[in-house]
Structure 1
Amino acid sequence: MQDWYARAVRLRFQVFTGTPYAHVSPMEWRIDPGALRGIAHSRGYLEIAPMFQGCLSFQFAPQHVPPVPVFDGPDRPDKDRERWLLNHLTGSEQVWVSLKHANLSARRVAELAETEGLRVAAEFADPNDRVLLLSRDPSPPRLPLPAPTGFRFRYAWLNNIAPVTVFVLLSAAAVIVGMPSGHEAPIVSLLFMAAFAGAVPAAFTTGLFPRTTRVGWLAREFDGSPHVEFAMRSYQMPADLVVQIAAYHGYELYGQSATQAGGPSLKFYKRV
């Protein structure tokens, strides 16, 4: 099931990309022809007579098969959200913005960005959100990205650091409180219980940050490393958007894994 999911996502965003024609072998992709037709339809493709043996052929025909509409924020004046966006943009060279979080339309975000000298360099969308990359230099990155040098902090690590920190601090507090009396007091038991209970929500620390912040952290994962892997819960962004952002940085999805503790993870490799 996990491999099927990865293949389906790759088909949506690496094959049915808006090119005039797409030819896909169900056997090669190990995907049911019915599911393949559904994926093509959702991307605005119409099935045509096969052009190659063993393949299904599709033509991009959004006028006949409208693709699933993408998200856009409300296109109306909102002084509070516009002020927030301008504060977010001021002095920045590059900014990632989630329209779902900004609660503004793509048109309005682009207009406000221009007042700060930024333009839309790229956009990534699905039915539930649209992410804009605003930059003073809107040219696409040179691919493949160079391999990173030196240490670079990954914000996904916060979900590991925070629960350990909570557990250690509360456990230490319990020990310190219990030391003078030499025997276990009710407050000591409560502190130990809080240490265990607090470590669980702390494992989702990144989810406490705004969506716009998280998408910027997500983009930093694609830093030129040969392979990138992270748990979906780290940034809580839909896989469709993640794959599009990865492709912009020269990465392709090749698999998915899951653990009971960490949940599903996506695996990417850098195209060379």
Structure 2
Amino acid sequence: MSLPATQIPGFPFPFPPSTPTIGVLIPSAGPTSGGNPVLILGSGLANASSVTFGGTPASILFQDPIGLLIIVMAPAHAAGTVPVVVTNAGGSSAPAMYSYVAPAAPTVISLIPTSGPTTGGTPFTIVGSNLTGASVTFNGVPATGVVVDPTGTVLTGVTPAGAAGNVPVVVTTPGGSATVTGGFTYVAPPGPVVILLAPTTGPVAGGTAFTIVGSNLTGASVTFNGVPATGVVVDPTGTVLTGLTPAGAAGNVPVVVTTPGGSTTVTGGFTYV
């Protein structure tokens, strides 16, 4: 089959298109994820119908009509060296070699802090290298709010909730995974302690304002004979709790204070009159 001919002004006869030739690739290497522009310089490159990297088509971004250069977007490919081939009506070029480089695996130098409450929500910082694009898990549960600085050396986030004890922390990037030495230790919050309840009596209709003094009361709820108190507020120190009693039957009932750290029953309870 004959190749299509091209007529050049001033020449009395047409001539067949030349076979494309690749002189140089700039750059000659790139990431396995692709997506980077590659400049192809050579001759006979005009009207290219395809450019392939290891057999995978690249997107052609620009080609000059003279046939000296083509700009393409490298496709994704596994790590290794692959042939780049330009094809047009004149045929296919001899291959030029392009190297796909896998991203470096992450490394972790430090995790700060190394412990926090089982409820999660602890801000943490990981310092290392090759952290760009990282996610972090604590015992397999993803951390939230993960951000990596532009240098890929500092990662910040917030711990998820977890059971008490030491758990593995794993940093994962496109280049691989790294387990943080020493992991992270979840610490159960201390249980609530009640020193006094005042007053200790009130009407069966409820609505009695009460105060509980103790420690570790942050996040507490209070029940009177299993019925929740209303308007419960704990001061910032976690030592003073106030609320309103619910309605209840006449007599003495148990009062239970519950926090993320556990529960405690108030000595003497509360007497409805």
Assess same fold via TM > 0.5. Answer: no
Bigger share in helix: 1
TM-score (norm 2): 0.21
Normalised by the size of structure 1, how large is the TM-score?
0.21
Highest relative contact order (Cα 8 Å, sep 6+), 1 or 2?
A: 1
